[in-house]
């Protein structure tokens, strides 16, 4: 199966198929937090603050990385005002991400970010830091599954300019979730989206069976749960509209959502085709398409936010079954010319019809067991 000119716009480092032999839920969560720290530092994220659960920063200028081992990320607290393992990382845009082992049980942790890089230390510094512009990407959710057996398998994506981060974690052959904090190409008005990042947590990767505009409620569309809290699945962003900061849930925008005749007895496509490799692709390729993110249709939150970077949708005759999870497709590096340069094999990976991401031949297989 081939792609339709999927040209990466960024250089990526993919850390594939990290396996953690099950010892305990606390160890599994520490594995998730620690390995993300390692992968992010590898591409240039810097440590702003850290705490191993026993020792925190001595001052706001103390940037020591206290997560020297996985065990250093293993101290959990159930509230902010208690000693816990946490780390704050900063990227080239000044955005800061915090990984914090905080939750009611050992499979839960807290991940958040500060668009303006405003995290400040608590007192004592072993407690959870705070930021006035903090966006909680996930809290109250089981990030490693509550099953007390089974290895966890983790794959991490980081762009080499430090502006894209995501991971996929699985257990016993099933995906637990995929989440990330990534920069987008903004389409917002001046001042609405001054720091163009969004965050997401998904447990499935399929386009809605009934898309927006079809007159039928999407089967996996925007949900009413407060973004970032327990049970929320989807994407959202922090924006400034009507003189206030607010969170807007995000959906995927689609073009040509129509299944009605045009007056000449022809019917246009409703997000699917007659074949996985349709005629206009010469029967050789599966069409991939970039897409845009739309805000929820409520006052001050609706409109078009922007486009994810190096992220595609697939259009086939059998969505959502095709393309299957773990299918590789060829693609191109930044600077390649699709008209003259050969496609690079296994350069992108399909997690589902709505999430096709860079792979760069990182491994012969994407493992979830």
Nearest alpha-carbon partner for 320 in 211, 180, 181, 186: 211
Q: What is the DSSP string of 210-270?
A: S-TTSSS--TT---SSPTTSTT--EEEEEEEETTEEEEEEEEEE-S----SB-SSS-B--S
The CA–CA distances, whole Å, from 38 to 47, 239, 363 equal 11, 30, 19
Name the token pair of 111.
Answer: 């991940």
- How far apart CA 320 and CA 163 sit, in angstroms, is 29
* Residue 279: predicted pLDDT: 86
Within 13 Å of residue 206, how many CA atoms lie on the same side as its CB? Answer: 17
- How far apart CA 350 and CA 174 sit, in angstroms, is 15
pLDDT tens figures, 254-282: 543 444 444 444 444 445 677 888 888 88
> Is-cis flag, bond preceding 320, omega within 30?
yes
pTM of the full structure? 0.92
* Residue 260: predicted pLDDT: 42
* Residue 314: predicted pLDDT: 83
The CA–CA distances, whole Å, from 199 to 136, 137, 170, 228, 249 equal 9, 6, 19, 9, 10
Rounded (5°) CA angle 138-72-157: 50
* Residue 263: predicted pLDDT: 44
Adjacent-strand bridge partners of 312: 356
* Residue 212: predicted pLDDT: 42
Are 184 and 294 in contact by the 8 Å Cβ rule? The answer is no
* Residue 211: predicted pLDDT: 45
Phi and psi torsions of 296, nearest 5°:
-70, 150
Long-range contacts of 100-104 (CB under 8 A, 24+ apart): 100/128, 101/29, 101/30, 101/33, 101/53, 101/73, 101/74, 101/75, 101/76, 101/77, 102/76, 102/77, 102/78, 102/128, 102/139, 103/76, 103/78, 103/139, 103/140, 104/78, 104/140
> Is-cis flag, bond preceding 323, omega within 30?
yes
CA 337 to chain centre: 28
HEC secondary structure over 276-301: CCCHHHCCCECCEECCEEEECCCCCC
* Residue 208: predicted pLDDT: 53
Could you say which residues of the chain have pLDDT below 70?
A: 1-5, 207-222, 253-272, 319-320
* Residue 255: predicted pLDDT: 43
């Amino acid at each position: 199966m081939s792609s339709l000119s999927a040209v990466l716009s960024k250089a990526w480092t993919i850390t594939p198929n990290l396996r953690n032999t099950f010892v305990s839920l606390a160890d599994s969560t520490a594995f998730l937090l620690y390995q993300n720290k390692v992968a992010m530092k590898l591409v240039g994220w810097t440590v702003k603050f850290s705490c191993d659960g026993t020792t925190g920063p001595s001052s706001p200028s103390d940037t020591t990385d206290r997560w020297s081992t996985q065990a250093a990320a293993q101290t959990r607290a159930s509230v902010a005002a208690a000693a816990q393992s946490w780390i704050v990382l900063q990227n080239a845009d000044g955005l800061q991400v915090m990984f914090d082992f905080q939750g009611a049980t050992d499979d839960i942790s807290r991940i958040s970010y500060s668009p303006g890089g405003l995290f400040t230390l608590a007192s004592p510094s072993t407690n959870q830091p705070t930021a006035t512009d903090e966006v909680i990407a996930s809290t109250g959710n089981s990030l490693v599954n509550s099953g007390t057996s089974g290895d966890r398998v983790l794959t991490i994506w980081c762009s080499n300019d430090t502006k894209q981060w995501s991971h996929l974690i699985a257990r016993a052959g099933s995906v637990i979730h995929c989440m990330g904090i990534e920069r987008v190409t903004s389409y917002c008005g001046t001042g609405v989206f001054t720091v163009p990042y969004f965050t997401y947590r998904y447990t499935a990767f399929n386009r809605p069976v009934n898309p927006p505009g079809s007159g039928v409620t999407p089967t996996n569309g925007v949900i009413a749960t407060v973004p970032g809290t327990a049970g929320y699945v989807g994407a959202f962003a922090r924006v400034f509209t009507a003189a206030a900061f607010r969170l807007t849930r995000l959906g995927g925008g689609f073009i040509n959502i129509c299944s009605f005749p045009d007056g000449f007895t022809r019917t246009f496509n409703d997000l699917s085709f007659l074949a996985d490799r349709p005629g206009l692709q010469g029967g050789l390729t599966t069409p991939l398409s970039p897409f845009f993110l739309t805000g929820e249709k409520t006052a001050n939150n609706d409109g078009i936010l922007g486009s994810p970077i190096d992220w595609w949708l697939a259009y086939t005759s059998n969505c959502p079954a095709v393309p299957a999870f773990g299918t590789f497709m060829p693609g191109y590096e930044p600077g390649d010319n699709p008209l003259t340069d050969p496609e690079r094999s296994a350069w992108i990976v399909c997690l589902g019809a709505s999430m096709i991401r860079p792979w760069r031949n990182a491994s012969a297989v994407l493992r979830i067991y």
